[in-house]
Chains A and B, each alone.
Chain A
Amino acid sequence: MNDYIYYPGCSMEGSGIAYHESLMVVKKVLGMQLHEIDDWNCCGATEYLGTSTIPAYSLIARNLALAAQQTVGNKTVMAPCSACYLNLVKADHNMAESKVLGGKVNEALAAGGLHYDPGSLTIRHLLDVFINDVGLDTIKSKVTHPLTGMRVAPYLGCMVPRPDYGHQFSDYEQPTELDDLLRALGADVIDYPLKTECCGGHMAQIGPETAYEMIRRLVSTAENRQADIMVTVCPMCQMNLDAYQPETNSFFGTNYQMPIVFFTQLMGLAFGADAKEVGFGRELVSAKKALARIGVAAPAPAASAPRSKKPQGLPMPASKFQKKAAAEMAIKEGSK
């Protein structure tokens, strides 16, 4: 299961070029083959869907129709950008759910000599593929330069864990996938409860004040919890938290210097690649300080402890994640 039909998305060649560079390095190490959809078009982001329905879905469906024509592996399309991923999977899902929509979209596609049967492709996000196909054990085995000493805030953003039609992630609000991946790279993952909060999306252009507040919440919390760096899976999130951080600072009169990079960049580093090779230096808020922390001993425990203390008095209830882990352990140990 190493071949994927690949939908890069417009940002990979523009603002998210570091994502592209690091993905090319990482895929080689993991032995993945990415077959780009021939002549793919823009997915429409969140703009098209807000102006029309059939044209918006047809725009997305052209990509699905083209992908379906490529005979690769078990017909899995992989998209690294969260918005692209959600658009593709949503079009597939809604076309299947609503026969009216499916019919109309195919009518439009027919005008271009194309057709798409909803459900004929599996659509996955890059992170999902790493966790569930490649597996953490494999990733761990490829780590030659563990990121020990670097404190990372895992910021997943909103469109990957939600609405999660295919139930590929562990939770809508507090999924553990990105945390687990970063730990496999040797990094020190901080407790970051805002991991699926929205970055503001296109509000950065349309309603900046709203966006600045959302960016501020994310960046300030990472800083308060002594993160050295944030990672994300989405070019929009990276753009908002990185390129718009200076704007946010001037709006609030703050001075945050929280670098944010793509998670594949950290993967590349851990796999032994050069920082520049995986796109470091492309971020506007420099990650130099964070990179310097790798291999440095962790600061004294008192300073590194997160704000929330473990309660002394009454016992805590087991959360669903702990119960799931306990059940899996029980099965592993073969106890009744």
Chain B
Amino acid sequence: MTVPEGMDRPKAGLRQRENLALLHEVSLATAGVSHVEMCIQCGTCGGSCPSAADMDHTPRKLFAMLRAGMEDEVLRSNTPWMCVSCYHCVVRCPQQIHIPDVMYMLKSKAIAAKLCQDSTAPDFSKTFIGMVETFGRSFEVGLAGWHYVTHYPLRLPAMAVMGFGLFTKSRMSILPKRIKGMDQLKAILDKAKTLEMSE
């Protein structure tokens, strides 16, 4: 039985849909060869992660949930958004699982399913991408400015101090730089967006 409409948490006896092909799907869609099926649940990743304390599920637990087909919970989890890409986990993992690449994959899957949680990360990424797709280079002032205005307006005063400091030391340009081959880059990215990893 599936959960009835309007009921967001399963009550006694009612189970969420399980997608038992999930682990395999995620593995195939990850760039490179992920080995995530080989997880022996040792916990080295969760133990190594510097931001584990702030994750709702440790990376290891997330992989167990993948295996159990808990697609909804996995994509709602803040775990991939907490990942700082420090690569401690992958060099220590006894099964050499490409954990950060799986995290990137889960982020994009969560965005596609519109299930990303409280994190401001998806928005930040979108703003960043917008800059790159317009100018070909990142534009720190535009990015930071827009991000704080939309998500952390209360921090703007403190950020302004930092921004002023950076500006006076010439570490920040007011105007964005633009590459010459913007058309070429656009063509490449437009084509890339039509391609899928699992095809």
Contact = CB atoms under 8 A, between A and B. Distances in A.
Nearest to A40: B179
B107 A51 contact: yes
Contacts of B179: 39-41
A50 B125 contact: yes
A17 B196 CA distance: 38
B54 A52 contact: no
B120 A14 contact: no
Interface residues of A, number: 72
Given A198-B50, A198-B84, A284-B165, A45 B195 contact: no
Contacts of B185: 41, 59, 62, 112
The 5 A-B residue pairs whose C-beta atoms are closest, nearest first, are A162-B87, A111-B191, A198-B86, A108-B192, A50-B107
A243 interface: yes
Contacts of A97: 32-33
Given A57-B31, A162-B86, A201-B84, A108 B108 contact: no
B137 interface: yes
Contact of B184 (A101, A112, A163, A198): A112
Given A48-B128, A93-B32, 12 more contacts: A10-B140, A39-B180, A50-B107, A51-B108, A52-B192, A53-B108, A108-B192, A113-B184, A203-B82, A206-B120, A246-B161, A250-B158
Interface in B157-199: 158, 161-162, 165-166, 169-173, 177, 179-181, 184-185, 187-193, 195-197, 199
Given A53-B104, A53-B197, A54-B196, A214 B144 contact: no
A202 B124 contact: yes
Given A55-B189, A59-B132, A112-B184, A42 B137 contact: yes
A53 B144 contact: no
A98 interface: yes
Contacts, number: 211
Given A101-B31, A101-B32, A284 B104 contact: no
Interface string A168-180: 0000100000000
A282 interface: yes
B65 interface: no
B84 A108 contact: no
Select the residue from B90, B119, B166 with max chain A CB neighbours within 10 A: B166
B121 interface: yes
A138 interface: no
B104 A50 contact: yes
A48 to B, nearest CB: 6
A163 B96 CA distance: 11
A65 to B, nearest CB: 9
Interface string A59-75: 10010000000000000
A162 B98 CA distance: 12
Interface residues of B, number: 71
Contacts of A111: 187-188, 190-192
Contacts of B188: 58-59, 62, 108-109, 111-112, 114
B192 A14 contact: no
5 contacts: A53-B31, A94-B32, A101-B31, A104-B195, A202-B121
Interface in A248-284: 250, 281-284
B69 interface: no
A13 interface: yes
Contacts of B155: 208
B85 interface: yes
Contacts of B190: 111
A39 to B, nearest CB: 5
A15 B169 CA distance: 9
A39 B135 CA distance: 12
A205 B124 contact: yes
A54 B197 contact: yes
B38 to A, nearest CB: 16
Contacts of A200: 84
Given A93-B32, A112-B187, A206-B119, A281 B91 contact: no
B39 interface: no
A320 B119 CA distance: 42
Contacts of A13: 173, 177
B51 interface: yes
B137 A10 contact: yes
A49 interface: yes
B85 A15 contact: no
Contacts of A55: 189, 192-193
Nearest to B132: A42
Contact of B138 (A42, A51, A98, A159): A42
Contacts of A100: 197
A139 interface: no
